[in-house]
Amino acid sequence: MRDAVTTLIKTYDITGRYLDRDAIDDLKAYFSSGMARVQAASAINANAADVVKQASAALFEEVPELLRPGGNAYTTRRYAACLRDMDYYLRYATYAIVAGATDVLDERVLQGLRETYNSLGVPIAPTVRGIQLMKDAAKALAADAGVADTSFVDVPFDHMTRELSEIDV
């Protein structure tokens, strides 16, 4: 797993260049936003169960057929799997928030997920919607924790939804 710093250094190392003004500005931005990223992750972590609970309730209200016979969240086992996956996405999103990079999502969440979801017949649209609902809750928690600019919270959630949305089911 790489963070924003190691990713930046690797990019410059591969091209054999010294860090230029853009690189230094990127590093300054990463370090100056560090406390806000940690505050946001702490708020999300402390409320993770509630975020998943509220997002899943909203999702199942919007798409009730998921809970009906034949739906992907029908039966206790499948319902629990949906909640487990939502928690998984949220946890890895907090890692990416702290790292300031989405590499962990690609390495630990998204690689292989396409094949798994396709083989299981998991509908992608509700998964994407659930991630978006969690993003909204995470942003609200970050704001409540005193983070003025919560735009960095969007990054991991938007990355996951963009990558999952490209799946042809």
Task: Encode pLDDT of 42-76 as tens digits.
Answer: 999 999 999 999 999 999 999 999 999 999 999 99
Residue 120 has pLDDT above 60, yes or no: yes
In this prediction, residue 2 carries a pLDDT of 83
The DSSP code sequence of 20-63 is -HHHHHHHHHHHHTHHHHHHHHHHHHHTHHHHHHHHHHHHHHH-
169: pLDDT strictly greater than 80:
no
Report the pLDDT value the prediction gives residue 113, as an integer from 0 to 100.
86
- How large a percentage of the chain has pLDDT more than 90? 86
Task: Indicate the pLDDT class of residue 165, thresholds 50, 70 and 90.
Answer: confident
Q: Using CA atoms, how far apart are residues 32 and 51, in angstroms rounded to an integer? A: 27
**What residue segments make up the domains of the chain, in order of their start?**
1-32, 34-165
> What's the CA gap between 122 and 164, in Å, rounded?
11
Which residue reads 């949220």 in tokens? 90
Residues 84-104: what's their mean pLDDT?
96
Burial call 88-103: b when 16+ CB within 10 Å, e when fewer? ebbebbbbbbbbbbbb
Report residue 72 as tokens.
């992907």
| Mean pLDDT, rounded, for 112-139 | 91
Cα gap 45→50, rounded to integer Å: 10
pLDDT at 116 over 60: yes
Instruction: With beta carbons less than 8 A apart as the criterion, state whether 131 and 164 touch.
Output: yes
pLDDT value of residue 117: 87
CA dihedral 38, 91, 148, 34 (to 10 degrees): 30
pTM given for the model: 0.90
Decide: helix, strand or coil at residue 79. Answer: helix
| Domain covering 34-165, topology | Globin-like (1.10.490)
